Amino acid sequence: MSTTMDSRATHEAIEGTWPVLPKERIWGAWGLTAVAISAGVAAWSYMIGGYVAYYLDAVMGTYAMIAGSLVGMFFVVLATIPCSVRYGVDTITASIPQFGVRGSYFSIFLQYASILGWNCLLLILLGRATGRIALAAGWVGESGVSTVSALGSLAAITVSWLLLRKGAESIRNYSYFISIIVTSLALWILYKLITGFGTEAILSGKPLASSGDRLWDYTAGLEILVASVLSWWPYMGGIVRMVPSARQAAWPAMLCMGLPTGVISLIGLYSALVTGDSDPTAWLIQFGGVYLGIGALVFLAMANIGTAVVGAYVASIGLKQIPVFQKGVSWNWITFIVLLPVAVIAVLIPNFFFDNTGSFFAFLGVFFAPVCGIQIVDYFLLRKQQVNSLGLYQTDTDSPYYFFGGINPAGVLGVLAGFFSYVYLLNPVSYVSHAPFKYTSASIPALVISALVYYGATKILCRNMGDYNN
């Protein structure tokens, strides 16, 4: 009986929202490293590099992108790892002290929308690459490309769902395999790029749409990577709680999720500077025919599916915060629910998605800087690294995190302050900026401003609530 209860509790922890005890954290440093690489190496990095190519050449772009990836990940690590590793809780649960028991639905929305969007992007990109290869190989004509693309996306989504069926242990196990393959292929693509075009051509490539202000361009390049890497926030809690120590989580996060975003983006940067297209599939086919293109496709498949699965895993855990998903809905059904919208979008409206969601992504991404700032100041300064673990799971007025009607007003004010600060400094859609953006970037000041506003609002509005005095 005791064993049955223990295994039930373990199941509720690892595939749900209950705290994961240290003895249940089965990944270890190498396991998390493999999962981090599997998630961190993704073909969306090509697009990120392509955006930087608008503003910077290869040299300044390389420096800005590596710097940006480290800075962004630093703040994500501070915001998520200490609390999630200490208490064994996922990202959404860890955000309850900042946003309140009902306010954390904002975190659920942020996580789900972000991961849904990124998974659509990844799996549509994979589908499109499949169609491009099939056309180049002569397997289909122009009229068949969209069908092949849709089938490619659907196949990838199906594989993702199957990989999720066995939960955290199988994610760790296949991540060993995927991480080795994607790292090797990524380095191989970078090698082909450099030897195929030559360093001369890459180094002499001019930015595609420089603003004319060298400092502005440099800061924009940094900002693109900082903002992109901050988007790892939704992924963190669900995976780092699977290791027993924060050190075993922090370095894989920094070096295997944050840094690879910058390094893989270099492929997109250099490709765009030389060819005008950040996607290397086209020039790989040009250099080595269909077989090199298939190599790129294998990379895309491994990288994108690896990232999509990790995203779907943490999103599924996040959804379990919602009462309707807590009982009676199996893990396989929840993962199916997470992936179904991706399938619908990728198969039925992939072009509409690509053409119309850039703005949505840009604004969504703006929220991660304030959320990180708020979590850092709350956990370290206001709570001195202590939370009330019972209070995280109470949803009524007995919870110290009930605040006003379940919402922490300081969290709302902090997010709004950070959001409007960011949008003032840099409109994420039009990229119109205001001073002092070129000296400060946008994410970093937004993070700091939101932290300050949250701190002040907490001191004024939440004096006798929120469990700050304990």
Q: Which residues sit at the interface with another protein, rule CB under 8 A?
A: 5, 8-9, 12-13, 18-19, 21-22, 25, 59-60, 62-64, 66-68, 70-71, 73-75, 77-78, 81-82, 85-88, 218, 222, 241, 243-247, 250, 254, 385, 389-390, 393-398
Kindly state the smallest distance separating residue 314's Cβ from another protein, in Å.
17
Instruction: Name the residue among 262, 263, 235, 260 with its Cα closest to residue 249.
Output: 235
Kindly state the smallest distance separating residue 258's Cβ from another protein, in Å.
8
Q: Which is nearer to another protein, 218 or 232 (CB)?
A: 218
Which residue type sits at 318? G
Kindly state the smallest distance separating residue 10's Cβ from another protein, in Å.
10
Kindly state the smallest distance separating residue 385's Cβ from another protein, in Å.
7
Q: Which is nearer to another protein, 71 or 303 (CB)?
A: 71
Q: Is residue 407 classed as helix, strand or coil in its secondary structure?
A: strand
Nearest-10 crossing angle of helices 145-164, 331-348 = 170
CA torsion 294-339-252-41 (nearest 10°) is: 20
In the block, tokens 């399938």 appear at: 343
Kindly state the smallest distance separating residue 245's Cβ from another protein, in Å.
4
Q: Which is nearer to another protein, 62 or 458 (CB)?
A: 62
Kindly state the smallest distance separating residue 71's Cβ from another protein, in Å.
5
Q: Which is nearer to another protein, 244 or 260 (CB)?
A: 244
Q: Which is nearer to another protein, 64 or 446 (CB)?
A: 64
Cβ burial 337-359 (10 Å sphere, 16+ → b, else e): ebbeebbebbbeebeebeeeeee
Q: Which is nearer to another protein, 67 or 136 (CB)?
A: 67
What are the backbone dihedrals phi and psi of residue 330, each rounded to the nearest 5 degrees, phi first?
-70, 160
The string of DSSP codes covering 294-338 is HHHHHHHHHHHHHHHHHHHHHHHHHHTTSGGGTSS--HHHHHHHH
CA torsion 108-109-112-117 (nearest 10°) is: -160
Kindly state the smallest distance separating residue 204's Cβ from another protein, in Å.
14
Which residue type sits at 187? L
Q: Is residue 396 classed as helix, strand or coil in its secondary structure?
A: coil
Structural tokens at position 188: 């191989």
First to last CA, the chain: 37
Structural tokens at position 64: 């800005």
419: left (phi over 0), alpha (psi -120 to 50) or beta: alpha
Instruction: Name the residue among 222, 193, 221, 196 with its Cα closest to residue 207.
Output: 221
Kindly state the smallest distance separating residue 354's Cβ from another protein, in Å.
31
329: left (phi over 0), alpha (psi -120 to 50) or beta: beta
The string of DSSP codes covering 370-421 is HHHHHHHIIIIIISTT---TTTTT--STTSTT-TBTTB-HHHHHHHHHHHHH
Kindly state the smallest distance separating residue 441's Cβ from another protein, in Å.
10
Q: Which is nearer to another protein, 142 or 398 (CB)?
A: 398
CB 440 within 8 A of CB 216: no
Q: Which is nearer to another protein, 141 or 323 (CB)?
A: 323
Q: Which is nearer to another protein, 64 or 115 (CB)?
A: 64
Q: Which is nearer to another protein, 158 or 245 (CB)?
A: 245
Kindly state the smallest distance separating residue 284's Cβ from another protein, in Å.
28
